[in-house]
Chain A
Amino acid sequence: MPTRELPEKSEITIIGGGIIGVTLAHELAKRGEEVTVIEKRFIGSGSTFRCGTGIRQQFNDEANVQVMKRSVELWKKYSEEYGFPFSQTGYLFLLYDDEEVETFKRNIAIQNKFGVPTRLITPEEAKEIVPLLDISEVVAASWNPTDGKASPFHSTAKFALHAEEFGARLVEYTEVKDFVIENGEIKGLKTSRGTIKTGIVVNATNAWAKLVNAMAVIRTKIPIEPYKHQAVITQPIKNGSVKPMVISFRYGHAYLTQTAHGGIIGGVGYELGPTYDLNPTYEFMREVSYYFTKIIPALRELLILRTWAGHYAKTPDSNPAIGKIEELSDYYIAAGFSGHGFMMAPAVAEMMADLITKGRTDLPAWWYDPYRFERGELRGVALQMG
């Protein structure tokens, strides 16, 4: 059980108890490290529990494809070991014109190169996968059956449980207020429940990363801004009605799928910010309804139960900032996931744990180098929807 008791000291302290902080704590503890997570509210309460549940390898660059391939392996492994629902029900990108098809052919080639079995399928094949689809305007689809989805609630809870079994401490309802720094070295963190002595700090606060960086007086330019994205869920329908995540860039950058409980969940590209406001808007409710019913007309009679908002912690190239910040020892960041934090978490945890414990990793961490913004070396914008 997560506690409200702050330990006196911890070798490594992770700020932020979202999926990134929790999976990282799990990985570090598993490797025998002394690690503590400090979460302002409760585990998952920031952006994790607000996410769209999707886990995909269909990216448009080599680094993200490799990281996500590893991530899916880990999602599969841990869901089996720990018993939480992760289903490889695939991602289906609907394509409406030749230009889109060409772009996706290039992406598929990158994905195939690393063994991700994405292929281009016909509209009819797409309709076999999701019989409720309107394919009248669809010319092809990009289909990877090994992509999937997981319940943010149950998966995060299981990672947290096992992290604690390995000895990690998860401290909830505790807010980090300041850093204790002496001669450029971190000595501890001041929190709403007192001070914890610590040497290594990981900023895993994603949407709030800039505030923590400011607390640590980091001067390196790491532009991460909170954007409001909204999601919707409907009344449940028969399970299996929409198995994969269905994507349509043509219709509002929409993504939608069915949760294990049966509701249709998803969102569109409509974005507001930068802002910390999380009030859902009228415009979103209308747009998401219009685009979803374009993709699956049968949804027209389905009732929307709820909309909510969460943050995409966005960087200029929609790739996260992952790595060590040299101006302060020992300060690490894993934030700015731009909407991909949940799906990437297990691989990022592995990558970060490698960097912290060994100083190197086999995963392409260089792509997420936090200094790339300062150097003006932006990556190609990561494929993003919602």
Chain B
Amino acid sequence: MTEDPKGKIIICRCNDVTLKEIEDLIEGGITDIEEIKRLTRIGMGPCQGRTCIPLVISIIARKAGKKPGEIPVPATRVPVRPVMMGVLAGEMGDDDEE
């Protein structure tokens, strides 16, 4: 049973993933957060999972009858906040005022 019959409860803002989409996967037997991540793109947007991952953990816990502590958090990888390629390359050049 979904709590999101209209598909208007947004869990991941970056990739517009709804509660319903996640619940459907869990009901289909997929409860590994890494799998849910790859199939729905939760946690893969520009917020890097900051908003959605804790929510998804609680959804899995509720639907799959697990404790939140039993659900491993997905790896945190560099960069821990998005960075422009040009900045990592070194000097952005022309528009640098300093």
Chain A positions near chain B (C-beta within 8 angstroms) = 1, 41-42, 44-45, 49, 153, 157, 233-235, 261, 280, 282, 285-286, 289-290, 292-293, 299-308
State whether B78 touches A153 (Cβ < 8 A): no
Q: Which of A1, A49, A293, A307 contacts B78 (CB 8 A)?
A: A307
Within the complex, what minimum Cβ distance (angstroms) separates A2 from chain B? Answer: 8
Q: Tell me the smallest distance from the CB of B27 to a CB of chain A, in Å.
A: 11
Known A1-B28, A1-B29, A49-B38: A303·B44 in contact at CB below 8 Å: no
Is the CB of B89 closer than 8 A to any CB of chain A?
yes
Assess the A234–B85 pair: CB atoms within 8 A: yes
Q: How many residues of B contact A (CB 8 A)?
A: 27
**Do B77 and A280 have beta carbons less than 8 Å apart?**
yes
Q: Which residues does chain A contribute within 8 Å of B84, judged by CB atoms? A: 300-304
Q: Are B45 and A293 in contact (CB under 8 A)?
A: no
CA distance A306 to B50 in the complex (A): 13
CA distance A42 to B88 in the complex (A): 34
Enumerate chain B residues within 8 angstroms of A234, measured Cβ to Cβ: 85
Residue in B29, B46, B78 whose Cβ sees the most chain A Cβ within 10 Å: B78
Residues of B within 8 A of A303 (CB): 46, 82-85
Q: In the complex, what distance in Å separates the CA atom of A151 from the CA atom of B78? A: 23
- Contact pick for B79, options A45, A300, A307, CB 8 Å: A307
- Identify the closest chain B residue to A306 (Cβ): B77
B41 on the A face (CB < 8 A): yes
**Roughly how many angstroms separate A293 CA and B28 CA in the complex, as a whole number?**
42
Identity of the chain B residue whose Cβ is nearest the Cβ of A156 in the assembled complex? B38
* In the bound complex, CA of A41 to CA of B32 (Å): 10
Please report the C-alpha to C-alpha distance between residue A86 and residue B77 in the assembled complex, in whole angstroms.
28
- Taking a contact as CB atoms under 8 Å apart, the answer to whether A304 and B89 are in contact is no
Q: Contact partner of B48 among A42, A299, A306, CB < 8 A? A: A306
Q: Which residues of A contact B48 (CB under 8 A)?
A: 305-306
State the majority secondary structure of interface residues on A. mixed
- B39 on the A face (CB < 8 A): yes
Q: Which chain B residue shows the least CB distance to A151? A: B38
Is there contact, CB below 8 Å, between A302 and B46?
no
Is B65 interfacial (CB 8 A cutoff)?
no
Query: What's the Cα separation between A45 and B88 when bound, in Å?
Result: 29
Interface residues, chain B, CB within 8 Å of chain A?
Answer: 15, 28-29, 32, 34-35, 38-39, 41, 44-46, 48, 75, 77-79, 82-90, 92
Instruction: Assess whether B39 is in contact with A289, with CB atoms less than 8 Å apart.
Output: no
For B38, the chain A residues whose CB sits under 8 A away are 44, 49, 153
Q: How far is the CB of B1 from chain A (nearest CB, A)?
A: 20
A285 close to B39 (CB less than 8 A): no
Given A290-B89, A305-B82, are A235 and B32 neighbors across the interface (CB < 8 Å)? no
Please, which residue of chain A has its CB at the minimum distance from the CB of B46? A235
Q: How far is the CB of B24 from chain A (nearest CB, A)?
A: 13
Closest chain A residue to B48 by CB distance?
A: A305
Residues of B within 8 A of A289 (CB): 85-89
Give the CA-CA distance A153 to B35 in the complex, in Å. 9
- With a cutoff of 8 Å between Cβ atoms, the chain A residues found around residue B85 in the complex are 234, 289, 292-293, 299-304
Contact B79 A285 (CB under 8 A): yes
* Also in contact, A301 and B86, with CB within 8 A (given A42-B32, A42-B35): yes
Which residues of the partner chain A approach B28 to less than 8 Å between Cβ atoms? 1
Contact B46 A304 (CB under 8 A): no
Compute how far the CA of A45 lies from the CA of B29 in the bound complex, rounded to whole angstroms.
17
Contacts of A1 in B (CB 8 A): 28-29
